């Protein structure tokens, strides 16, 4: 695989790491979930497959949200609002020379993408939301479960201890479990992980849903271990003309399970067609 250049966008006083890959006819911004690391993504087969498939039909813009991966950390005692974090998307788009883009929001990235679409409708081509939700405590974790999760993060972070909460079907996959432990360590410190969890607990975008005008596709796994599928059913009722597709599966991360099925749905939604044969050929020869 050829090296992917990492650059930095300035958002206020914070530097946001981003990468651009692919030469498609439109821009697609991938807004990741709880944690991410731009470099480490390319070391997992499923994540690499996801990014290669997406960049085969778009100019794919990737970034690490503030507090994660290669981006600047946040002050654990002065947590930024979702509005501030959402504006990091605008900063990355500006730095990447993108005036208008489709947004793929995954998990915690979905409410950020929804808020962006409501705030910057002129810059939002479409929304594809995977495993998303509008309010954290209602559809992800109760306050009591969140406290237990934060306690675990502060005592066992970096060991892969969070894997059962996100991808229980991969717990016995030794290679993936090892990668997940590195994913924890290289995406956030224990203190940063706890701060991220507290930031996400404040998420509530229910008030902006009816203001979204971009074409919207919702995808949710029927037995999602992390986010209640009712979360996307609620979004489908509130976002005008949104389309919901439920697919089989329990593991929550977008790069686990049947990645090709998921990307097929996104590609068809954004382009009106699929190019599976061409992608398979490029998988072998283009990278």
**All structural domains of the chain with their residue ranges:** 6-140+204-285
DSSP lists the bridge partners of residue 101 as 27, 124
pLDDT-derived band of residue 280, with 50, 70 and 90 as boundaries? Answer: very low
Instruction: Quote the CATH superfamily of domain 6-140+204-285.
Output: Alpha/Beta hydrolase fold, catalytic domain (3.40.50.1820)
pLDDT of 188? 94
Global pTM?
0.93
Mean pLDDT of 156-183: 96
* Contact (CB, 8 A) for 83 and 202: no
Distances from the Cα of 163 to the Cα of 15, 167, 169, angstroms? 28, 6, 9
Per-residue pLDDT tens digits for 92-145 = 999 999 999 999 999 999 999 999 999 999 999 999 999 999 999 999 999 999
Which residues have C-beta within 8 Å of that of residue 97, sequence separation ≥ 6?
none
Average pLDDT in the chain: 93
The Cα-based distances of 56 to 50, 108, 118 in angstroms read: 10, 25, 28
Question: pLDDT tens digits for 133-143?
Answer: 999 999 999 99
What's the token pair of residue 75? 């002050």
Give the integer Cα–Cα distance in Å for 198 and 239.
26
């Amino acid at each position: 695989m050829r090296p992917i250049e990492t650059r930095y966008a300035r958002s206020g006083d914070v530097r946001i790491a981003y990468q651009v890959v692919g030469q498609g006819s439109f821009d697609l911004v991938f807004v990741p979930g709880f944690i991410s690391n731009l470099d480490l993504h390319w070391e997992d087969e499923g994540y690499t497959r996801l990014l290669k498939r997406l960049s085969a039909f778009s100019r794919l813009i990737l970034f690490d949200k503030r507090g994660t991966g290669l981006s600047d950390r946040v002050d654990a005692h002065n947590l930024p609002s979702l509005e501030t974090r959402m504006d990091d998307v605008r900063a990355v788009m500006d730095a990447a020379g993108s005036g208008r883009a489709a947004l793929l929001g995954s998990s915690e990235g979905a409410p950020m993408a929804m808020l962006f679409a409501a705030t910057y409708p002129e810059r939002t081509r479409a929304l594809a939301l995977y495993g998303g939700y509008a309010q954290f405590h209602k559809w992800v974790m109760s306050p009591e479960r969140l406290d237990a999760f934060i306690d675990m993060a502060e005592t066992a972070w970096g060991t892969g201890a969070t894997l059962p909460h996100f991808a229980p079907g991969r717990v016995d996959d030794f290679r993936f479990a090892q990668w997940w432990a590195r994913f924890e360590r290289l995406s956030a410190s224990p203190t940063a992980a706890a701060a991220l969890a507290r930031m996400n607990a404040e998420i509530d975008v229910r008030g902006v849903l009816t203001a979204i005008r971009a074409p919207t596709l919702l995808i949710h796994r029927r037995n999602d271990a992390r986010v209640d599928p009712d979360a996307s059913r609620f979004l489908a009722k509130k976002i005008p003309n949104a389309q919901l597709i439920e697919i089989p599966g329990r593991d929550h991360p977008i790069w686990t399970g049947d990645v090709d099925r998921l990307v097929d749905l996104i590609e068809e939604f954004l382009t009106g067609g699929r190019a599976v044969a061409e992608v398979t050929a490029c998988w072998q020869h283009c990278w």
